[in-house]
Amino acid sequence: MALFNETLAGRFNEVIRRLHQVKQTPAPQISPEIFHGIILENDRPEYHSLHGGFLWAMRRVSGAVALNFSNVGIRNPTGSGLLVVVENISVDNAGAVTQAYNLRTRAQGTFASTATSFFRDSRRGFGGNCPVLVCDDNTTTGAFGSGPLETITVLGGQSGEPFLSTPYVLTPGFELIVAPNSVNQACDVDWAGYARPITDEELKS
């Protein structure tokens, strides 16, 4: 049984222990004058690192190919042990023409190319070793995934347009995909979000 004002849940325990510089694990009682209110999915950005989470971002481009669809995706890899939250998805007007783009989802599939995204926290080094993956493909005659979850239109005179249905939450083995609704169109997408460790309990419906 937990002591008064003691936090035993591992995810939140680490934030409290490290924030107050408690040297033992699990953190003991915190004095009743200090109250920890948990606001779900609204933590201060610098606190993500305290519980093993991180901020990430990446741009990915899939060039235009005659008769083929260009697909660009973000992936939470199978076995990552992470919950990935996609907060922002914005399409740049790569072809400078009016074009509709669809947002789709699927279980992890095959892309022609995958790469790591980048951390948004210098404590992680920024570099391209982030476990959240960006993907692209322009080798098929069909767009990937199920949906669309949302469709946006980028006008010829616009520089870009965001999807408005974010955020999206990806468990391990799932991905989001953006593709134009016509062939021979480039797809240039900016992605941003955060990720954190996931527990088995969170995967149960």
pLDDT grade for 162, boundaries at 50, 70 and 90: very high
pLDDT at 88: 98
pLDDT grade for 200, boundaries at 50, 70 and 90: confident
How far CA 180 is from CA of 10, 64, 67, 100, 176, in Å, comes to 42, 10, 12, 6, 14
pLDDT per residue as tens digits for the range 93-150 = 877 889 999 999 999 999 999 999 999 999 988 887 899 999 999 999 999 999 999 9
Tokens of 143: 């767009």
pTM of the model: 0.81
pLDDT per residue as tens digits for the range 170-191 = 999 999 999 999 999 999 999 9
What is the pLDDT of the chain when averaged over all its residues? 88
